[in-house]
Every structure is written in C-alpha cells, then in structure tokens.
Amino acid sequence: MPSILDSVDQRTQLVGENRLELLMFRLQRGSSFALNVFKIQEVQTLPKLTNLPQSHPHIVGVTYARDRTIPVIDLSAAIGMGQLTERENCNIIITEYNRSVQAFLVKSVDRIVNMNWEEIMPPPKGAGRAHYLTAITKYDDQLVEIIDVEKVLQEVSPFNTQVNPEILDSGVISRSTGLEVLAVDDSSVGLAQVRETIKQLGLTLISASDGAMALRMLKQWADEGIDVHRKLTMVITDAEMPEMDGYRLTREIRSDPRLKDLYVILHTSLSGSFNKAMVEKVGCNDFLSKFEPDKLAMAAQQRVREYCDLYSIS
C-alpha cells in the first residue's frame, strides 16, 4: 500500500469534524485491528530484518528506512496473541508516536476506512485482549479492535514520568494546593502520565476517558451554577478518543459561553508539526507531545501563575 499517505492534506480536513481514518489490518486469522492513519508514515512488505541483541522479546529486529534504523515490534505477540511465526508476505506498518518512529509487524494490511468518532466505542471491561485496546468499532458488520499503542510502547520501552527537580518552582507549587485540572484521555497509560506529572505540582486531577464524557461533566457543572473557569485551572486533552475527539471537544467548549474561556492544552502522541497547525484551527491554547513530563510541568506551572494572578490567589 505505497500511497497510504498520498492524501494527507485531504485527511487533515477531518480534524475538528469528529472524523478519522483507520488503517485496518490482521494479526492472526479472524480478528481485524486498526490504527489511526495520522500516525502512519508508511506500509511495506516485510523486509529482511537485522537482529538486535538483548532487545525486548517483542522486538523481532530492526530495519533501515526513511534514513534511520527502526525497531520492528511483533504486534501480535505484544498484545498477547502469540508470535507471528509464518512471516511470508507479512507487512510492517511504520508509525510515529510521541516523536519516536517504530514499525509494527502485522500479518496483512486490509484497507483504509473513513469513520466518525461517534462510531468508535470504548472497549468492554474485562480481561484478555481488551487490556490492549483503546477502542472498538464495527465495519461491514465486523468487529474492529483499535490498539492502545501507547500501552504497547510503554511495555516495550517504559516512558519517563519523573519531572526534573530543577524545573519545579516551589512558589508555584505552594499556590497550586486545591487547584483542579481536568485531564481527558482514553489511554490508561496516557492518563497515568498526566496524573503523575500533575501530582508533582500539587494540583488535583479530575479525569474523563473521552471527550463526550468530559463535555457532559463541564456542562453539568455549568448547569449547576458553578463558575467552571474558576473551578478548573486548565483542561488537558488527548486528540484521539472514542465518541468525541479532543479537537471536537475544544470546539464544543469554545461554542458554549459558559465554557469558552477555559484554558485547553492539546496533549497527544500525534505528529507535532501537524498538531501545531490544528491548534489554531480548533482554538486550543497550547500543544504538547505526550510523555515529555518536563514540558508538561513547565506549561502547567506557567498556567498556574496566570490563573493565580487572574484570581488574586497568593
């Protein structure tokens, strides 16, 4: 599928419209899986791989593409389905998450489908493969499972959540006590990273697992007569989420007079250059890549300073 990203400009028009495109693929016989096309750089027939000594068991080797050495992860093994032992005619999907590039070994690539985030549902609660899913949907009456890649990458190469002590401002932290932040993310790994960072700043975290849930919370507070701008120091939202993505959530916030001045940070594993353009389109205040705790801490501390000055909090 060499032309998978030929129409990127057209795909960016989906942003803010609560739509996305998914690349469907298979790992073993039967189940169909998917990844967001925005995170995919290229699809190739499985090339010859070079072994990487002492690497994680799910890394089956490295390949050279796009002027860099790229680790190849057996995605089937990573989500507990067993290794892909028959690799003839398999594919690799080269992706970018959190400014890092890696490839996933899959059995076969199927097609690209255009969908509405409202058709994307949270995975069922329970054990088994749902542990590695961020969402599910249906296409042609077939269940499609959307992989929580952040969780896979966390297990292969754990992310750092510790803020550099030199960045922490004791004066800001003393003013942060009792201040609340709303974090919105469908990935347990992504939410945990925000929680750990925010905790180090002394802020209190309120969480929602998708944009629709977050919007219901915000509107309910406003309906109850709560000054939401005073209640929340900021909203930190992921981009990709079931039912309502972060772009649509931001648009909905800006369209409600009771919420429109909330400070919104888009916090996502999608491409930085792409998202910086989208910040202006949907009206976010800032964009940050995930799993960079120092940058998140600096942005949050700056917002606390502004918030405390605005409301005369010493």
- Tens place of pLDDT for every residue, the chain, 314 residues? 444 444 444 444 555 567 888 999 999 877 899 998 888 989 999 999 999 888 999 999 999 987 899 999 999 999 999 999 888 889 999 998 877 899 999 999 999 999 998 899 988 876 455 678 889 999 998 999 999 998 999 999 888 889 999 999 999 999 998 899 999 999 888 999 999 999 999 999 999 999 999 999 999 999 999 999 999 999 999 988 888 999 899 999 999 999 999 999 999 886 555 556 667 777 899 988 888 999 999 999 999 999 999 999 88
Tokens 């929340």 correspond to: 232
Cα 64 to Cα 68, 72, 75, 102, 306: the distances in Å are 6, 10, 19, 11, 46
pTM recorded for the entire structure: 0.87
Q: Are 135 and 242 in contact (CB under 8 A)?
A: yes
* Phi, psi values for residue 32, rounded to 5°: -110, 140
The rounded Cα 219 to chain-centroid distance in angstroms is 24
Return the pLDDT at 4. Answer: 46
Return the pLDDT at 9. Answer: 44
3-class state of residue 31 by DSSP? coil
**Could you say which DSSP state residue 129 is in?**
G
Tokens 């609560």 correspond to: 18
Using CA atoms, how far apart are residues 248 and 59, in angstroms rounded to an integer?
A: 36
Return the pLDDT at 2. Answer: 43
| Cα angle for residues 248, 249, 255 (degrees, 5° grid) | 90
Return the pLDDT at 53. Answer: 87
